[in-house]
Amino acid sequence: MENAILSSDFELLDVIPADNSSKSFDIMLDEMRGNKNRLKSILKQLQGEYDFVFIDCPPGFSALSENIFNAADIVLMPVIPTTLSIRTYHMVKDYFKEKDLDSSKMMCFFTMTDLRKNMHNEIMDELYKDKRFFQNYIPYLSDVEKMGTHKAPIMEFANSSYAASCYRELWTEIKEGVL
Protein backbone atom coordinates (compact mmCIF):
# COMPACT_ATOMS: atom_id res chain seq x y z
CA MET A 1 0.00 0.00 0.00
CA GLU A 2 2.73 2.46 0.98
CA ASN A 3 4.41 2.02 -2.43
CA ALA A 4 1.23 3.19 -4.16
CA ILE A 5 0.98 6.46 -2.18
CA LEU A 6 2.41 9.52 -3.94
CA SER A 7 2.86 13.02 -2.59
CA SER A 8 0.95 15.67 -4.51
CA ASP A 9 1.76 19.27 -5.40
CA PHE A 10 -0.51 20.35 -2.53
CA GLU A 11 0.50 20.59 1.10
CA LEU A 12 -0.79 17.76 3.32
CA LEU A 13 -2.31 15.87 0.36
CA ASP A 14 -1.03 12.49 -0.74
CA VAL A 15 -2.79 10.41 -3.38
CA ILE A 16 -3.02 6.93 -4.77
CA PRO A 17 -3.54 7.56 -8.49
CA ALA A 18 -6.56 5.99 -10.14
CA ASP A 19 -5.02 4.05 -12.99
CA ASN A 20 -4.90 0.46 -14.12
CA SER A 21 -3.50 -0.58 -10.75
CA SER A 22 -6.91 0.13 -9.22
CA LYS A 23 -8.38 -2.41 -11.65
CA SER A 24 -5.92 -5.03 -10.44
CA PHE A 25 -6.86 -4.03 -6.87
CA ASP A 26 -10.50 -4.76 -7.74
CA ILE A 27 -9.49 -8.12 -9.21
CA MET A 28 -7.57 -8.93 -6.01
CA LEU A 29 -10.62 -8.11 -3.92
CA ASP A 30 -12.89 -10.12 -6.24
CA GLU A 31 -10.63 -13.12 -5.63
CA MET A 32 -11.31 -12.65 -1.92
CA ARG A 33 -15.08 -12.65 -2.28
CA GLY A 34 -16.64 -13.04 1.12
CA ASN A 35 -13.80 -11.21 2.87
CA LYS A 36 -15.35 -7.80 3.31
CA ASN A 37 -12.70 -6.80 5.85
CA ARG A 38 -9.72 -6.97 3.47
CA LEU A 39 -9.55 -3.22 2.78
CA LYS A 40 -10.13 -2.42 6.44
CA SER A 41 -7.01 -4.36 7.39
CA ILE A 42 -5.00 -2.65 4.63
CA LEU A 43 -6.13 0.81 5.77
CA LYS A 44 -5.15 0.10 9.38
CA GLN A 45 -1.54 0.32 8.18
CA LEU A 46 -2.13 4.05 7.48
CA GLN A 47 -3.83 4.86 10.78
CA GLY A 48 -0.95 6.71 12.43
CA GLU A 49 0.12 8.60 9.31
CA TYR A 50 -3.12 10.22 8.12
CA ASP A 51 -6.01 12.03 9.78
CA PHE A 52 -8.32 11.27 6.85
CA VAL A 53 -8.30 8.79 3.99
CA PHE A 54 -10.74 9.55 1.18
CA ILE A 55 -11.47 6.83 -1.35
CA ASP A 56 -13.22 7.80 -4.56
CA CYS A 57 -15.33 4.73 -5.19
CA PRO A 58 -16.06 4.00 -8.86
CA PRO A 59 -19.74 3.64 -9.77
CA GLY A 60 -21.24 0.20 -9.51
CA PHE A 61 -21.23 -2.55 -6.94
CA SER A 62 -18.25 -4.87 -6.66
CA ALA A 63 -15.99 -6.48 -4.10
CA LEU A 64 -14.08 -3.17 -4.02
CA SER A 65 -17.17 -1.08 -3.27
CA GLU A 66 -18.34 -3.53 -0.60
CA ASN A 67 -14.89 -3.43 1.02
CA ILE A 68 -14.92 0.38 0.89
CA PHE A 69 -18.40 0.53 2.41
CA ASN A 70 -17.33 -1.85 5.16
CA ALA A 71 -13.94 -0.23 5.88
CA ALA A 72 -15.12 3.38 5.91
CA ASP A 73 -16.02 5.23 9.08
CA ILE A 74 -18.26 7.43 6.92
CA VAL A 75 -19.51 6.84 3.37
CA LEU A 76 -19.90 10.33 1.94
CA MET A 77 -22.11 10.25 -1.15
CA PRO A 78 -22.53 13.24 -3.48
CA VAL A 79 -26.05 13.43 -4.90
CA ILE A 80 -27.15 15.58 -7.83
CA PRO A 81 -30.76 16.64 -7.20
CA THR A 82 -32.14 14.85 -10.28
CA THR A 83 -34.36 11.80 -10.63
CA LEU A 84 -31.59 9.54 -11.96
CA SER A 85 -29.22 10.46 -9.15
CA ILE A 86 -31.96 9.93 -6.56
CA ARG A 87 -32.61 6.50 -8.03
CA THR A 88 -28.91 5.70 -7.56
CA TYR A 89 -29.07 6.96 -3.98
CA HIS A 90 -31.93 4.54 -3.25
CA MET A 91 -30.00 1.70 -4.93
CA VAL A 92 -27.03 2.34 -2.63
CA LYS A 93 -29.33 2.42 0.43
CA ASP A 94 -30.86 -0.89 -0.69
CA TYR A 95 -27.39 -2.36 -1.26
CA PHE A 96 -26.40 -1.46 2.31
CA LYS A 97 -29.51 -3.21 3.60
CA GLU A 98 -29.06 -6.26 1.35
CA LYS A 99 -25.39 -6.72 2.34
CA ASP A 100 -26.11 -6.01 6.01
CA LEU A 101 -23.79 -2.98 6.03
CA ASP A 102 -24.07 -0.24 8.65
CA SER A 103 -26.38 2.23 6.89
CA SER A 104 -25.92 4.82 9.65
CA LYS A 105 -22.49 5.68 8.23
CA MET A 106 -23.96 6.62 4.85
CA MET A 107 -24.08 10.43 4.66
CA CYS A 108 -24.98 12.54 1.62
CA PHE A 109 -24.60 16.03 0.25
CA PHE A 110 -26.08 17.72 -2.78
CA THR A 111 -23.77 18.74 -5.58
CA MET A 112 -24.19 20.43 -8.97
CA THR A 113 -27.19 22.14 -7.43
CA ASP A 114 -29.01 24.84 -9.38
CA LEU A 115 -31.64 26.51 -7.21
CA ARG A 116 -33.16 28.16 -10.30
CA LYS A 117 -34.54 24.72 -11.23
CA ASN A 118 -37.81 23.71 -9.60
CA MET A 119 -36.87 20.03 -9.72
CA HIS A 120 -33.68 20.65 -7.74
CA ASN A 121 -35.59 22.57 -5.07
CA GLU A 122 -38.34 19.95 -4.82
CA ILE A 123 -35.93 17.03 -4.58
CA MET A 124 -33.77 18.81 -2.01
CA ASP A 125 -36.80 19.76 0.11
CA GLU A 126 -37.95 16.14 0.09
CA LEU A 127 -34.57 14.56 0.83
CA TYR A 128 -33.59 17.05 3.53
CA LYS A 129 -36.22 15.21 5.61
CA ASP A 130 -33.78 12.28 5.53
CA LYS A 131 -31.32 13.17 8.28
CA ARG A 132 -28.42 11.64 6.34
CA PHE A 133 -28.31 14.72 4.05
CA PHE A 134 -26.10 17.63 5.05
CA GLN A 135 -27.73 21.06 4.82
CA ASN A 136 -24.81 22.64 2.97
CA TYR A 137 -24.52 21.86 -0.73
CA ILE A 138 -22.20 22.48 -3.66
CA PRO A 139 -23.77 24.73 -6.32
CA TYR A 140 -23.42 24.24 -10.05
CA LEU A 141 -20.78 26.89 -10.76
CA SER A 142 -17.98 27.24 -13.29
CA ASP A 143 -15.36 27.47 -10.51
CA VAL A 144 -16.34 23.96 -9.41
CA GLU A 145 -15.88 22.64 -12.95
CA LYS A 146 -12.52 24.42 -13.25
CA MET A 147 -11.03 22.13 -10.60
CA GLY A 148 -10.73 19.52 -13.35
CA THR A 149 -9.12 21.98 -15.73
CA HIS A 150 -6.68 23.25 -13.11
CA LYS A 151 -6.19 19.77 -11.62
CA ALA A 152 -6.22 21.48 -8.25
CA PRO A 153 -8.47 22.03 -5.25
CA ILE A 154 -10.63 25.12 -5.62
CA MET A 155 -8.81 26.83 -2.74
CA GLU A 156 -5.66 26.89 -4.90
CA PHE A 157 -7.10 29.02 -7.72
CA ALA A 158 -10.34 30.57 -6.44
CA ASN A 159 -10.00 30.65 -2.67
CA SER A 160 -12.24 33.68 -2.16
CA SER A 161 -14.98 32.49 -4.54
CA TYR A 162 -18.51 31.58 -3.51
CA ALA A 163 -17.86 27.98 -4.59
CA ALA A 164 -14.82 27.73 -2.28
CA SER A 165 -16.92 29.11 0.55
CA CYS A 166 -19.54 26.41 -0.11
CA TYR A 167 -16.87 23.71 0.13
CA ARG A 168 -15.56 25.16 3.39
CA GLU A 169 -19.08 25.29 4.88
CA LEU A 170 -19.80 21.71 3.81
CA TRP A 171 -16.50 20.49 5.26
CA THR A 172 -17.24 22.28 8.55
CA GLU A 173 -20.66 20.62 8.70
CA ILE A 174 -19.15 17.21 7.94
CA LYS A 175 -16.49 17.58 10.64
CA GLU A 176 -18.99 18.82 13.23
CA GLY A 177 -21.68 16.32 12.30
CA VAL A 178 -19.90 13.04 11.93
CA LEU A 179 -16.16 13.20 12.61
pTM of the entire structure?
Answer: 0.85
Q: How far apart are CA 9 and CA 130, in angstroms?
A: 38
Q: H helices within the chain, ranges in order? A: 20-31, 38-43, 63-71, 83-98, 118-127, 142-150, 154-157, 162-178
Q: How far apart are CA 154 and CA 165, in angstroms?
A: 10
pLDDT tens-place values along the chain, 179 residues long: 666 788 888 888 888 776 655 565 656 556 556 677 778 888 888 888 888 888 888 778 877 788 888 889 999 999 999 999 999 999 999 999 998 999 999 999 999 999 999 999 999 999 999 899 999 999 999 999 999 999 999 999 999 999 999 999 999 999 998 76
